[in-house]
Chains A and B, each alone.
Chain A
């Protein structure tokens, strides 16, 4: 019998003490144990970026992180962006630029873009595309997404 591992993890500012199975990945923990289903799961092999979350402020793929690795860490998910009913500026930019259609990829893009926004870097359109290339969208195309992020990064 494999033992569970006790962890203390802060998710969107709330501390959780949990017992996790070592083979559970972080995206499953967020969805299954905490009910935070905004973090999506696609390929579970690190390719699609649907599971992108911030780990101590850095964009990472949640499906490639074992749940016990979250011990002592701060995690941010898409649920942490809005304040009540009020969307974060980046989310508003997505809405205004029609940066989503089915929305399945949106949490991944929002988290990858949140890390970019906080870096304070001024990026060209090409650089934004490169920085976001770890998240795939299968329906809107990337134009609106890149436009939304570009507007935010240039203070628009």
Chain B
């Protein structure tokens, strides 16, 4: 037994989970897939006094459903369920695509979409996709339900806009621009990303591109949008020079960290190279 002692409670409803979080304000943790929380407990990086198991709430939070023309993914939907969902494959193909880059079979059998977003790993693929697609996080707290845009949700490494007594209940993906490319560079197969990158856009009949979003992971203290680069490309026809200049602009919105996976310098080198390649691939309709 490696973790420090804690009390274990099973939540019977979202309201119950919120009440428990409120009661133990700041000293309790929700347990979803456990694929990030339990390693941190085992390493004693976290020592909550109460662990609130929400796995029993799958009836309420384990569904992938169409809401109007948006796709609402319950916080307890596991990666393996994303892999199997035809609704996700059809409506949110980028989400389906990136799941293959997360962990391994056992991790994907347990890890949840809500856990991944709440954990807010700066390299996390799901967090990256919520930014790239402009997703909305729905949270429930003692004062009711509120929606938080992905852009306002990730505040820093492992830090989100969720209050300590709020629970994430759904991640909602509105319809997004149809074309995307995703790239990831890791140290080894399915390891956490050194750089991850999603570009999304809509090709118009007149040859211009609209609704460009470029999301970067692993190169800042949180997943970020390369807003300056996207602005440079919006509503224009792309040629090599424009794409190259936009790719350089991507560096304006990130401040890559130095860590055991890679140096900041290496990450800074990777960003424009791969943004350029993904934009060219998007424009050319090839990999």
Residues of B within 8 A of A2 (CB): 5-7
The stretch among B30-38, B119-127, B198-206 that forms the contact with chain A is B30-38
Taking a contact as CB atoms under 8 Å apart, the answer to whether B1 and A23 are in contact is yes
Closest-by-CB residue of B relative to A3 is: B7
Supposing A22-B7, A45-B42 touch, asked if A133 and B35 sit within 8 A by C-beta, the answer is no
**A74 CB–B CB distance under 8 Å:** no
Residues of A within 8 A of B5 (CB): 2, 21-23
**B261 CB–A CB distance under 8 Å:** no
Pick the contact of A66: B31, B104, B106 (CB < 8 A): B31
Taking a contact as CB atoms under 8 Å apart, the answer to whether B53 and A69 are in contact is yes
State how many angstroms separate the Cβ of B76 from the closest Cβ of chain A.
14
Please provide the chain A residues from 44 to 65 with a CB less than 8 Å away from any CB of chain B in the complex.
44-46, 49, 52, 58-61, 63-65
Residues of B within 8 A of A52 (CB): 106
Residues of A within 8 A of B34 (CB): 64-66, 69
Taking a contact as CB atoms under 8 Å apart, the answer to whether B105 and A63 are in contact is no
**B41 CB–A CB distance under 8 Å:** yes
**B107 CB–A CB distance under 8 Å:** yes
Number of interface residues of A (CB under 8 A): 31
Chain A 69-100 interface 0/1 with B at a Cβ cutoff of 8 Å (1 = within)? 10000000000000000000000000000000
Chain A 3-40 interface 0/1 with B at a Cβ cutoff of 8 Å (1 = within)? 10100000000000000011111001000000000000
Pick the contact of B104: A28, A63, A133 (CB < 8 A): A133
Taking a contact as CB atoms under 8 Å apart, the answer to whether A23 and B53 are in contact is no
Taking a contact as CB atoms under 8 Å apart, the answer to whether A69 and B55 are in contact is yes
> Chain B: residues with CB nearer than 8 A to chain A?
1-8, 31, 34-35, 38-39, 41-43, 51, 53, 55, 80, 103-107, 109-110, 189-190
